[in-house]
A and B are shown apart, each in its own frame.
Chain A
Amino acid sequence: MPSFDTIIIGAGPNGLAVAHRLASKGAAVLVLEAAATAGGGAGLAHLSYNLDPRVEKAMGLAAHGLEWASADLATTALSPDGNHLRLEGPVGERLFGDVSDADRAAWSTLRARLLRFAAVLSPLNQMAPPRIAKGVGNPMLKLAMIGIKARMMGAKDFRELGRIILTNAHDLLDDELSDPRLKGALAFDATLGGWLGPRSPNSVLPWLVRLSGQVAGKQGALGLPKGGMAALGAAMVKATAAKGVTIRCNAAVERILVEGERVAGVILAGGEEIRAARVVSAIAPKTTLLSLVGARHLDAGLVTRARHQKARGGAAKLHLTLRAAPDFRGANLKDRLLIAGSEHDVERSFNPVKYGRVPERPGMEIMIPTAHELKPDGKYHLSAIAQFAPHAPADRVAARAEMLAACLAQLEANAPGIGALVEDAEILMPYDIEARYGLPGGQWHAGELSVEQMLFLRPLPGIAQYKGPVPGLWLASAGCHPGGGVSGSAGWNAALAMEAAG
């Protein structure tokens, strides 16, 4: 068995990104993945919105097979009466449908402003969060540039950024727009993957983070790789392997070995011990600290903070196999289809989830990859994110069945006859996602991406610069800054932090 100086736990986008970067700099890297295949959360997602351009370029993902079936997906906000609203271009650059001129103008202004704000904040994604202590070597120049750029937007915009940054999505949309479908679609996007409704405080900031993403150089665009998101994961795997990194699947880490108060390697579920002086955890920080490292190697206050870190998943994942193409009242099946209703509908679908119950009419983001790449068997695969879903209902089996029924009812209302086409249906509740992907609470960001858990508070105060609390341990998952999606940003930032530490 060859020896490695670095073990990376988790072959998701962040694990692969950090592995690639470290191997490029000469490290002997072993990646351990609990699942049967590498790719991690890339297999859970169904479109790309924030792949880190640094990662995409340095890993040479195009050369390793990444192609876009669409690098700029349009969105159709479905209306049960067929009066759909179509948003083309990144973040609805162009609106088609029955929308008033006033709303078109207002949206155009609001959209441009949101993208500007997101762009001003986006450099933060590509650096370690600043520390708030004195004399700790913050990149003052970079931070100053972000401040200067924000200020250079002008007094009006700067003031507006300050006004909205901690407000809620509902109020922001309600200030500017009147069309309930448009507000509903935007409110749905703003809260996607979070555990908050559009009226929850601070629901704007996570949306701005989302809007700072890009596909093929276009800010705010949504992309679908050829072969689906799994193909993006596969390209990352190939690129990483090409750097000489060993990736072992079916290798669940049970414990991080700590000897003499520093990391010494890992112990796998089967008892196998693999030694390395550096262990990088690209799985959720909460799991890493509480289950893999264990309380006795950590300060008591840190353990308490880790236990209290919020990780509630609010989204379920639906997979359907359909005998034939569904008909969403004429909507283009290549589009990202949204069943959001109005902004109030989005809020109403969150309300029961707060109390562990299933909403009657969950919102849905639907992708039909088959529409982009037809299958020889003529069958259609539909993938949907359904929001909101309870992460800890009293009866998990019943909640799962209820959620599936609610989703199918929503689909039937928007695509009459779709129910008769269903050959196979699978729904993953947040707790199923937790079991399958190891994300605490089934939370997609490996810890909620909410303002109190962002930047120097992510994953926890004191360990927000990727360096773990035990010497030799590094944290590099979506649970770290800047959060989740299939971006590789946290992994890349972590690799940079390791290089800076020497």
Chain B
Amino acid sequence: MTALRHFETPLLKTPFHPRTEALNKLWSWGNWGGYTTALSFDDLAMEHSAVRNSATVYDLCPMIKYRIEGPEATAYLDRLTLRNVAKLSVGGVQYTAWTNDAGHMLDDGTLFRLASDRYRLCCQERHLNWLTDSAHGFDVTITEETEDIAALSLQGPTSGEVLRLAGFDIDALKPFRMAEFPLGNGRLMISRTGFTGDLGYELWTTPDQALALWDLLFDAGKLHGIRPIGSDALNMARLEAGLIITGIDFTPADTCVREDRLRSPIEMGLGWMIDWKKGHFTGKAALVAQRDKGRKWSFVGLEIGGNIAAEGAILYHNQKLEVGVITGAIWSPVLKKNIALAQVLTKYADGANIWAEIYALRELHYEKLMMQARVVDRPFFVHDRRRATPPGRF
């Protein structure tokens, strides 16, 4: 009998672990979906700075991935997700989301069309049950392939140049498109996607090519400021880009216990992605009703006075009435502003007279600050280099 000893090491290691382990000077690790993930390697400020000024590598392996294939894969995904999948051409990537029958968010993610009848869906949470249940009545196969793929996110202004130097011709690759290249005796798929709002790519290969890919990138990027980043720096970048994370900015419906915490895509600011004309999809009737009746909650970007990050702050109207909560906040080193993402009651989301209650810990004493917040457009940070094709030679 095999001794069951898995409980002694509850966190798994990704295929890049030998490299991330060697580089993690702070020995700062966190749990992302059951994997040992670097939170920070050496200096958070420098890691974040690299996202906006050079090139960064982030280990994406714990991202949940499903392969969806079969003659009815497109019809299946059109019924599962909010956007029109039939409009996604082969080689394209869609940022999308899906809900339950009641139109409450289950997750968001990226959908890669690998072939006419084959897709990859990447997301934060595990959904095999939901995806399999949704497959009833469709000629489609769902395979969880999280461990079959080793993925890195290469982000930053010099990321395109790093790839060129590594031998990959990505000049023609537009945002939300992907291309395939040989790598060692395997394959590498490069998609122009990311979670930073900057120029960047995501690199997908098999675990056996993982370390070779890492070494190739770091060799190529030596003179272009390449460095690994952890989840903390990525979180700063994604907040500047105004991007949401399931389980942080909203509670996914399948694990949500409290009825009033459920959020629809309309309430999460994702109403733009709903294709009302594509035909039926799960949650449509509920979402149509909400579209017509109006949403209770809104998801907004805020600029807040002062320089203390308003993480978790409660929002007040007129400093009195509780009207929402901040789900993510930083003082942005790039924007030199205090920014936040927040759920706010729609009634008060016009931005006038919203206040954030911030507790600033100053040498063991909390100072309560009531700072005015202003609703602003997302993303907070935008730069032309993100969309420039071919990417700039920085």
Contact = CB atoms under 8 A, between A and B. Distances in A.
Nearest to B103: A299
A293 to B, nearest CB: 10
Contact of B101 (A261, A297, A300): A300
A294 B137 CA distance: 7
A205 B29 CA distance: 57
A142 interface: no
Nearest to A293: B137
B282 A261 contact: no
B285 A300 contact: no
Given A295-B137, A301-B100, A301-B101, A261 B79 contact: no
A455 to B, nearest CB: 20
Given A299-B101, A299-B285, A261 B136 contact: no
A304 B133 contact: yes
A300 B80 CA distance: 8
A469 B130 CA distance: 20
A300 B280 CA distance: 11
Interface in A288-347: 290, 294-304, 307
A296 B101 CA distance: 13
Contacts of B279: 261
Contact of B136 (A303, A462, A469): A303
B138 A302 contact: no
Contacts of B301: none
Nearest to B283: A299
Contacts of A294: 137
B165 to A, nearest CB: 46
A290 B100 contact: no
A290 B137 contact: yes
A296 B138 contact: yes
Interface in B76-111: 79-80, 100-101
Contact of A261 (B100, B134, B280, B283): B280
A296 B137 CA distance: 7
Contacts of A301: 100-101, 133, 282
B280 A298 contact: yes
Nearest to A471: B285
B285 A307 contact: no
Given A303-B137, A307-B136, A297 B282 contact: no
A296 B280 contact: yes
Contacts of B75: 296
B125 to A, nearest CB: 16
A307 B133 CA distance: 10
Interface residues of A, number: 16
A475 to B, nearest CB: 16
Contacts of B100: 299-301
A303 B79 CA distance: 12
Q: Is the interface of A mostly helix, strand, loop or mixed?
A: helix
Most buried by A among B80, B101, B279, B284: B101
Contacts of A261: 279-280, 284
A409 to B, nearest CB: 42
A290 B279 CA distance: 18
A298 B130 CA distance: 14
Interface in B51-71: none
Contacts of B101: 299-302, 462
Interface string B270-289: 00000000011011110000
B138 A295 contact: yes
Given A261-B279, A301-B100, A296 B136 contact: no
A462 B286 CA distance: 12
Interface string B115-152: 00000000000000010011011100000000000000
Nearest to B100: A301
Contacts of A469: 285
Q: Identify the interface centre among A297, A299, A303: most chain B CB within 10 Å of its CB.
A: A299
A300 B138 contact: no
A295 B283 contact: no
Nearest to A300: B134
Name which of A261, A290, A462 has the most chain B CB atoms within 10 A of its CB. Answer: A261
Contacts of B133: 300-301, 303-304
A303 B100 CA distance: 12
A302 B284 CA distance: 13
Interface string A262-302: 00000000000000000000000000001000111111111
Contacts of A307: 136
Nearest to A303: B136
B136 A295 contact: yes
Interface of A: 261, 290, 294-304, 307, 462, 469
Interface of B: 75, 79-80, 100-101, 130, 133-134, 136-138, 279-280, 282-285
6 nearest CB pairs, A to B: A295-B137, A301-B101, A299-B101, A300-B134, A300-B282, A299-B282
11 contacts: A261-B284, A295-B79, A296-B138, A296-B280, A298-B280, A299-B100, A300-B80, A300-B282, A301-B100, A303-B133, A303-B137
Given A290-B137, A301-B101, A303-B137, 5 more contacts: A295-B136, A298-B280, A299-B101, A302-B101, A303-B136
